[in-house]
Structure 1
Amino acid sequence: MSKQRVYWFCQIVGWTLLMMTEFIIYWIDEGFVPEIFYLTLANILLGISLTHLYRLTIKRWNWVRLPFYKLAPRVLGSVIVLAFIMTFVNFPFDLSLITDLRMSTVSTFIANMVNWVKTMMAWILSYTAYHYVERSRDAEIEKILLKTSIRETEAKVLRSQMNPHFMFNALNSIRALVYENPQKAQQGITQLSNLLRNSLLADRRKTVELREEVKTVQDYLSLEKIRYEDRLECRISVDPQANYWQVPPMMLQTLVENAIKHGVSKAVSGGFVELIGRIETGTSGRDQLHICIRNTGTLQPDAMTKETASGGFGLKNTAQRLELLYGTDAHFAIQQETAGIVAADVVVPQQSEGVFKRDHLQHV
């Protein structure tokens, strides 16, 4: 049943029960009086009309959006006005029913006014409180949806930030080969097209399978291998059980790019980049994906801060993306493992065990 139907049902049934109860009590005490019966029907219609007018007023002026200190006097004023109208309409009939000669006209009016205030107060407070609570709940939902939308927008911006930076470095690698070795340059362009395709898809997907991400890293390393030749050694070791684990797209490629840019390229004799992926059991007892990227290099103090200040965003980007996607369940850290070797560790929680197993079985 819709809210509109529920409202009218409560209005009609509520006022009918209230007025008819009073009429039946009078009927039992004094007998059936047609005029009182017609007055009861009139009061039912008048009560429904007045309270519905209040409903239209509160919706028209958005009273439920007001703070409590502004809403309270409006509600109290409405109660008094509606009670006065009901008392004024019924007062001529009330005078004819007075049995206590000690009650003056004013006393009768005030007594009846108090009774109608109680009735209107119950109705208006119930209706206003319901909508006030509902409005507060809707505001909380809107706030949650807004935060979700902001987080999604931030994630898309972070993903899109990688693409121009990546293309600039990749094109520089190919440019050096165009005249020296056209065949290798052609091979590099093919690999670059694969990377760009994956990069474009990255803006449309929150996560990809680890095997896709590893293929992207392999294409990137092959491209950089053309540039560095024997100065770059590449090693990739991924547990087959982790192939279908979901990870943020282009994240590992960004970390590998960072390892070459800030590590291998600065070493006089070159160096190595190693990617290791395995499934581990976390402290909570659930499986998690642990990815370690090791490379030749020396970690600078406050690497993330300095990287951002110099126009880079690989490390900080990775930390932000993991936080946006997984919250505190994910982990990213970079450290000086030993002298001359830097290690970046990424821990990704399992998003959906059922989905993971189903996708894994479909690809086996």
Structure 2
Amino acid sequence: MEKQKIYWFCQLFGWTLLIAVEYMAYVLEDGFVADALYLAIANIFLGITLTHLYRLMIRRWNWVRLPFVRLAPRVLLSIFVLALIMTMVNLPFDRLIVPQHLIDEPWPVIGYLLSWGKTMLTWVLSYTVYHYLEQSRNAEIEKILLKTSIRETEAKVLRSQLNPHFVFNALNSIRALVYENPEKAQKGITQLSNLLRNSLLADRRKTVELREEIKTVEDYLALEKVRYEDRLSCNFELDARTLFWQVPPMMLQTLVENAIKHGVSKAVGGGFIEVKSTIVADKLHIIIRNTGVLGDKEASGGFGLANTAQRLELLYGPDATFQIFQEDDNIVCADITIPAQSEGLFRRSEKAKTS
């Protein structure tokens, strides 16, 4: 609505000022003539009407969406038509009102066309260029919004693809407990319920606090430890300042699951899982170490590793990093770096540090 008011103000003020200047020049030269004043007023309304019709036409057929090579001829033709109409209206009246000005003009039509053509060229180019640039800007914004929407959809798909992995392993662990230890089976069902709830929420949330993600990992490892017993040892070293940092939901669980599947489960004497978090240069660093041999990343990690890298890229861009490497002969290390998302996060982290 504000743009509409500005448009009509510019129309009224612009045409009135233009015609008023021309009329005052005529009055200073030839004196006051009532018919000339009436024609000047008529030109104000005629100029506003013609240019407004051009505006309706360009909006009706979306000319500003056309490529330049198709837009330019239409604009030039419109300028000629507008100038021609103004000439056809003004020239006959000027022959009656100020015939002395046309005596020395061999081709008055050409002169009028050029004069009104310059006026229409100024108006049409100003309006068209403004809306052409505005349309280009809106198109860029739409592309950005579409790209953001696509990235969000991709992120949701990636999160949803995590669910079958931990559900399958958790159910197998609980099944083994049902007859051997019903009490542990009940506890296992509670832990599985927590995992399922977090999995469902993962489809709705972009990030969760690290402490919540760690609780999910602990529930998962508790279920896996039922299967591996003493063959699996777990250790957590968490900096209190990191517990409130935002991380992708189910990301650590996927990496821990991958570490057990391709590392600990293949080791004859079992192995260990170690999760460590710290803050370095205002960035969260998470390190997951486990028993295993990395080998071919596609074969020993596959979807989980590619998923983690892609999710970090979608959420944080190039500021987040993920790498996995062979730290020692029988130790694989996954290193994740996540940037802070807000100052509030730092304040909560510092609060956790001092508490």
Residue number in structure 2 paired with 1:174: 174
Q: Which of 253-262 and 240-249 deviates more?
A: 240-249
Q: Please point out which of 323, 326, 331 is paired with 1:333.
A: 323
Q: CA deviation at 1:181?
A: 2.6
Q: Distance in 2 between matches of 1:350 and 1:138?
A: 30
Residue number in structure 2 paired with 1:98: 99
Q: How do residues 212-251 of structure 1 correspond to structure 2 at under 5 angstroms?
A: 212-251=212-251
Q: Distance in 2 between matches of 1:266 and 1:215?
A: 25
The SS at the match of 1:260 is helix
Q: How do residues 105-184 of structure 1 correspond to structure 2 at under 5 angstroms?
A: 107-184=107-184
Residue number in structure 2 paired with 1:292: 287
**CA 1:47–1:333 in 2, change beyond 3 Å: closer, same or farther?**
same
The residue type paired with residue 65 of structure 1 is R
Q: Distance in 2 between matches of 1:35 and 1:98?
A: 13
Once the two structures are superposed, residues 303-340 of structure 1 have per-residue CA deviations (whole angstroms, 9 ceiling, x without a partner) of 1x3357xxx52111111111111111111111111111
Q: Distance in 2 between matches of 1:44 and 1:101?
A: 26
**Aligned residues between the structures:** 352
Q: CA deviation at 1:42?
A: 0.6
Q: Distance in 2 between matches of 1:38 and 1:220?
A: 88
1:238·1:278 contact (CA, 8 Å) conserved in 2? yes
Q: Distance in 2 between matches of 1:362 and 1:2?
A: 49
Q: Distance in 2 between matches of 1:280 and 1:183?
A: 43
Q: Distance in 1 between matches of 2:259 and 2:348?
A: 34
1:95·1:108 contact (CA, 8 Å) conserved in 2? no
Question: Could you state the TM-score of these two structures normalised by the residue count of structure 2?
Answer: 0.95
Q: Distance in 2 between matches of 1:84 and 1:53?
A: 15
Once the two structures are superposed, residues 240-299 of structure 1 have per-residue CA deviations (whole angstroms, 9 ceiling, x without a partner) of 121111111111111111110111111122111111111112xxxxx1111111111111
Residue number in structure 2 paired with 1:48: 48
Q: How do residues 306-345 of structure 1 correspond to structure 2 at under 5 angstroms?
A: 306=299, 312-345=302-335
The SS at the match of 1:269 is coil
The residue type paired with residue 314 of structure 1 is G
The SS at the match of 1:169 is helix
Q: Distance in 1 between matches of 2:190 and 2:310?
A: 31
Residue number in structure 1 paired with 2:340: 350
Question: Could you state the TM-score of these two structures normalised by the residue count of structure 1?
Answer: 0.93
Once the two structures are superposed, residues 186-230 of structure 1 have per-residue CA deviations (whole angstroms, 9 ceiling, x without a partner) of 221111111111222222221111111111111111111111111
Q: Which of 245-254 and 116-125 deviates more?
A: 245-254
Residue number in structure 2 paired with 1:192: 192
2:245·2:345 contact (CA, 8 Å) conserved in 1? no
Task: List structure 1 segments (4+ residues) > 6 angstroms apart after TM superposition.
Answer: none
Q: Which of 271-280 and 62-71 deviates more?
A: 271-280
2:262·2:300 contact (CA, 8 Å) conserved in 1? no
Q: CA deviation at 1:360?
A: 5.8
Q: Distance in 2 between matches of 1:199 and 1:52?
A: 58
List runs of 5+ in structure 1 lacking aligned partners.
282-286
Instruction: Supply the RMSD in Å over aligned alpha carbons.
Output: 1.7
The SS at the match of 2:178 is coil
The SS at the match of 2:274 is strand
The SS at the match of 2:179 is coil
Residue number in structure 2 paired with 1:284: none
Q: CA deviation at 1:358?
A: 4.4
